[in-house]
Amino acid sequence: MKVVVIQGPNLNMLGVREQHIYGPMKLEDIHQQMKNFADQNGIEIEFFQSNLEGEIVDRIQECLGDADGIIINPAAYSHTSIAIRDAIAAVEIPTIEVHISNIHAREDFRKKSITAEVCAGVIAGMGPFSYHLAMIAILQIMQEIKAIKEQQQQQQQNG
């Protein structure tokens, strides 16, 4: 099983920017924790970060046929990007949206995520631990899909 983690704009600045909102942990540290979880659970994991909307759309599309799950923090694009929303919907890969801060307790323009509408779930407000929760969620979803496929194959073989 393979998970692709896609990080949006300004997340490369974690540990530096607005620590009172996002905390002191750097993106590399979050990725290392995710990799540790992935290794313990037999998951291949790949990381991608871009400040550019089109590159994020391209990376989502590249997941088609290559990834079993996506964890995405679209960051500010959550509230504005129909292109990212449409890319997530188009690939039909289970996707968990992550936000370090509680977007519902922030400015009004951050309270609505248009990308969340096409995701299997959203985890927000748990700081960097949000990514760990997303790993648990995507693993569960991928295992359920695998079990359903195996059951369907079994039924086809039994006739």
Q: Which residues are marked as active site? A: 22, 99
Return d(Cα 124, Cα 99) in angstroms, integer. 4
Return d(Cα 34, Cα 29) in angstroms, integer. 9
Backbone angles phi, psi at 63, to 5 degrees: -70, -20
Are 113 and 103 in contact, with CB atoms under 8 Å apart?
yes
Return d(Cα 99, Cα 152) in angstroms, integer. 35
